[in-house]
Structure 1
Amino acid sequence: MEIRRTAPGAYRIHGRGIHGLAPPDGVLDCGNSGTAARLLAGVLAGHTFSAVLSGDASLRSRPMRRVIDPLMAMGAEFVTSRDGRIPITITGTDELLPLDWSSAVPSAQVKTCVLLAGLHASGTTTVVEPCPSRDHGERMLRGFGAAVSTAAVDGSLAVSVEGNAPLRPTAIAVPGDVSSAAFPIVAALLADGSEVELEKVGTNPTRTGVLDALRAMGADIDEEPVAGAGAEPMANLRVRGRAGRLRAVDLGPEYAPRTIDEYPALAMAAACADGVSRFRGVGELRVKESDRLEALRAGLVAAGVAARVDDDDLLIEGTPLPRGGVRIESSLDHRIAMAFLILGTACAEPIEVVGAGTIRTSWPEFGADMRRLGAAIDTGTAAP
């Protein structure tokens, strides 16, 4: 496959079609990205060669069984290291079977993995989820001409794709990542008198739980849609901070599929809100880049904020001025690192994050960009 950079932030990709990839020369290193590992597994399952997927220490601790099981049911073969975790060796086939797969946990990564494998199967592949998860995969596949359909089934959502149909090339406009945008948004909300504008942020409704939650907390966030955004809607967001304005919120489990990566930022807002916030049904935080549920609880308590875990719920009692003045481990998790650096800007004493270099995973310029906005984040505690 040929990938060429044509301008800053712009790439031209010459694809090889269904079943068209060549065997890799070595191990495919996915770094810290669970998304890369799981989606690549779906693509590789439809090719007649073996490939090894690996990654960093954090990725090697994350579950892969949830994608291995459906891909094996379609005919791919796997050799795993332990408990179905990477490194894994995938041996695909050009005779993948179509599949009807019910996922117990709504997961966009699992769904998209199976749909990508389904492109290489003869027939219709369907994934059934208990509730809708993020739908970037379906939107992108439709843009390439894939026959993707959705249907309600007994209170669940079924997403199907027709296999072995040719795909057409297309232009894709990638919006700003709302998961990353959540951090400067919360930082602005915690700074009295601040006003920050973020341009072309993705506002896909399966991803905007964080904006809905912050507005429920009393956040002042204006949204101006960007015209001609394409399959993925985007908007310019204007955020205004007012000290003491945020109030506690009780978020039901229905928020989790569209907010799961934004809970670290939301937890920092809850830490400074009036009252006790409860995030329900967030057990999936335990199997992210770290055990985010425990990392958030422990870090907040260390910073002087009352927090506890009740089964799969996270409860946070806000305070207008958290104590801070502590060192917090990032747990090799970029979102945990960014979250507590943001909280540190609202504390009586600064917070030092150990291992904040992991922020490079998703936002290499985070420290510099936040300082440009006026945040007191030192280069010694932020990512380079």
Structure 2
Amino acid sequence: MELKIKPKDKLQGTIKVPGDKSISHRSVMLGALAEGKTEVTGFLTGEDCLNTARAFQKMGVEIEGLGSEEMVIHGVGLNGLQEPESILDLGNSGTSMRLMLGILAGQDFYAVVTGDESLSKRPMARVVEPLGDMGAEIYGRDGGNLAPLTVIGQNLTNQEYQSPVASAQVKSCILLAGLYADGTTTVIEPAKSRDHTERMLEYFGTELNIDGLEVSVIGQPKLKGQKVVVPSDISSASFFLVAALINQQAELILEDVGLNPTRAGILEVLTAMEADYELLDKRLENQEPIADIKVNSSNLQATTIGGAVIPKLIDELPILAVAATQAEGETVIKDAEELRVKETDRISAMVTELRRLGVEVEEREDGMVIPGPQSIKGGCSCRSYDDHRIAMSLAVAGLIAQEEIEITNADCIKTSFPNFVELLKDI
């Protein structure tokens, strides 16, 4: 699909973006491993999360309402999964693969996981190696670094793992594997990464100990099915936040947005950029903070984005690069090497496409430098790199371009935000 975006100088309305991707994945995983029913509302129906659900269906988990925002997962208990008869295809979802490897490592059966061309190039050694230290047997291309990966489930031993990176996927993988180990499994991070897994494990009845950057789980718990309300995804909301901020005449309200403090780094940065936004109706659902966000056109100021905030907004950096083009001064994005091993090399992709749009930007190994404010020329065709966040960031840039832009291979947007184009039209 080719997406054409015309400049628009007035954005108004009240919208609700789809459910949180991270929480949707985890609701299926823990719901499947729990005893009893888990009722999920607000589930993200993007392909990534659906692939997670389909994988558990292949392992004997009954799921009612698959493909809708309301699902019922009939849990089989921690040790109730069955050997799949076919390969578990996780499409484009790195979250699905890395977290599922932790679960599969402790089973008493054989499984093979694979993904699309993009996922098959993404590094898995960061979870395969620590799982191996727990006794897991995982084989694949490049010494077990690349999918397809074969997992031969084993009796796992607990461990204390010092993670070299602040990564929720790495942390979550080890904690999920720790559910199958005797004793206590501990993950120590260099900085705090998003904590959806910890919150949901506790919500489902797992005993956790959290001490600063250390998280410990006690193995062999009994998980109990729960009711899970999935908030709107702040990563998806970020595209509309920035769209409103950089537009000349904008007033938007984004409803029911998840504001988990380990995910809401974009709000910290927007505050530093003097963005005009307000949090309304703050509340808590299944241990996750939620609020409505009212956002208006703003005269943004440049800032430096780096250090401890990076793990809290790693997925939002492409759209923040677009915001930086309209900020007064020089915006520096640094300490973001992780962007190079996402669905695509997001540093290279954003630098290339911003330059194509006439923007001056300096590429650095760990980020980029963008002076502003600058005009976005448009009048060209941009690449998505089959990366949903690149495609949506370019679409937002197109709203303030001087001429129409075209984004090729925009179908990838459906992996996380199936109704993005419709909501864009609504406002």
How high is the TM-score relative to the length of structure 2?
0.84
Partner SS, residue 130 of structure 1: coil
Deviations 1:199-229 (A, max 9, x none): 1000000011111111211211110144342
* Equivalent residue, structure 2, for 1:211: 267
* Equivalent residue, structure 1, for 2:301: 247
- Given the alignment, which residue of 124, 142, 167 partners 2:223? 167
* Equivalent residue, structure 1, for 2:170: 110
**Partners of 2:128 and 2:98 in 1: CA distance:** 9
Matched, 1:144 2:204: yes
* Equivalent residue, structure 2, for 1:179: 235
**Partners of 1:71 and 1:16 in 2: CA distance:** 23
**Partners of 2:139 and 2:265 in 1: CA distance:** 37
List 4+ stretches of structure 1 deviating above 4 A.
Answer: none
Q: Compute the RMSD of aligned alpha carbons.
A: 1.4
- Given the alignment, which residue of 82, 94, 97 partners 1:37? 97
**Partners of 1:42 and 1:317 in 2: CA distance:** 43
> Cα distance, 1:7 vs. partner?
10
The count of residues paired between Structure 1 and Structure 2 equals 366
Partner SS, residue 187 of structure 2: strand
* Equivalent residue, structure 1, for 2:339: 285
* Equivalent residue, structure 2, for 1:333: 387
Amino acid aligned to 1:15: G
Q: How does 1:308-323 map to 2 (within 5 A)?
A: 308-323=362-377
> Cα distance, 1:73 vs. partner?
1.0
Amino acid aligned to 2:255: E
> Cα distance, 1:328 vs. partner?
1.5
Amino acid aligned to 2:327: A
Amino acid aligned to 1:102: Q
> Cα distance, 1:2 vs. partner?
1.2
* Equivalent residue, structure 1, for 2:65: 5
Partner SS, residue 256 of structure 2: strand
Given that 2:203 and 2:286 are in contact with CA atoms closer than 8 Å, whether structure 1 keeps it comes out as no
Amino acid aligned to 2:345: D
Give unmatched runs, 5+ long, in structure 1. 374-384
**Partners of 2:165 and 2:324 in 1: CA distance:** 26
Given that 1:271 and 1:300 are in contact with CA atoms closer than 8 Å, whether structure 2 keeps it comes out as no
Given that 2:192 and 2:308 are in contact with CA atoms closer than 8 Å, whether structure 1 keeps it comes out as no
Between the aligned residues of both structures, percent identity stands at 44
> Cα distance, 1:6 vs. partner?
9.0
**Partners of 1:6 and 1:23 in 2: CA distance:** 21
Given that 1:282 and 1:314 are in contact with CA atoms closer than 8 Å, whether structure 2 keeps it comes out as no
Q: For residues 133 and 228 of structure 1, do their structure 2 counterparts lie closer, same or farther at Cα, with a shift above 3 Å needed?
A: closer
Deviations 1:247-286 (A, max 9, x none): 1111222111101000011111001212210011011000
* Equivalent residue, structure 2, for 1:72: 132
- Given the alignment, which residue of 86, 109, 118 partners 1:26? 86
> Cα distance, 1:193 vs. partner?
1.9
* Equivalent residue, structure 2, for 1:378: none
49-58 vs 78-87, which moves further: 78-87
Give unmatched runs, 5+ long, in structure 2. 1-60
Partner SS, residue 407 of structure 2: strand
**Partners of 1:346 and 1:5 in 2: CA distance:** 39
* Equivalent residue, structure 2, for 1:89: 150
Partner SS, residue 180 of structure 2: coil
Partner SS, residue 126 of structure 1: strand
Partner SS, residue 227 of structure 1: strand
Higher relative contact order (CA 8 A, sep 6+): 2
> Cα distance, 1:351 vs. partner?
2.0
